[in-house]
Amino acid sequence: MTARLQREFKGLQAKNGDWFTVSLVSDNILAWRVTIIGPDETPYAKGKFVFEFDVPSEYPFKPPKVKAVTKIYHPNIDSKKDGSICLDLVSAEKWRPQVKMEDVLVAIRSLLAAPGADHPLDADVGEQMQKDPALFAKTAAEWTAKYAK
């Protein structure tokens, strides 16, 4: 299984630089460090958000565990506790072996572009996003400037 993971890693490394970079933690193919640049025209624009991927040895039959290392003001990311991320694509119930790591990167960037407040992981941020979108955007931009440089 690690042969596929190594191919995917090398393919992504060849694409590094546009809106993401990938590297390994301690040269371990099962431990990835991914930096994603926040999408333009969002409160996360130009921010550099670091995520860690803990890839199980059963990959691609089990999904990677993804967590945000960079503090981020987002309803679907728990920056108060452990950086866990609410993303259906990597949930055990929704994961499919056909999904590639690049798909996971695209899904995370899409989550930055369009946060979902309907089923938030951080209820306070989700509530603010729904009740006062301008304050949410301002706070998210402030956190981006403070933590994601």
Cite the active site residues.
86
Q: Which residue, among 114, 85, 102, 100, has the nearest Cα to 16 in the 3D structure?
A: 102
Strand partners, 33: 23, 52
Give the pairing type, strands 20-25 and 48-54.
unpaired
Strand partners, 28: 25
Alpha-carbon gap, residue 133 to 117, rounded angstroms? 11
Query: Which of helix, strand or coil describes residue 54?
Result: strand
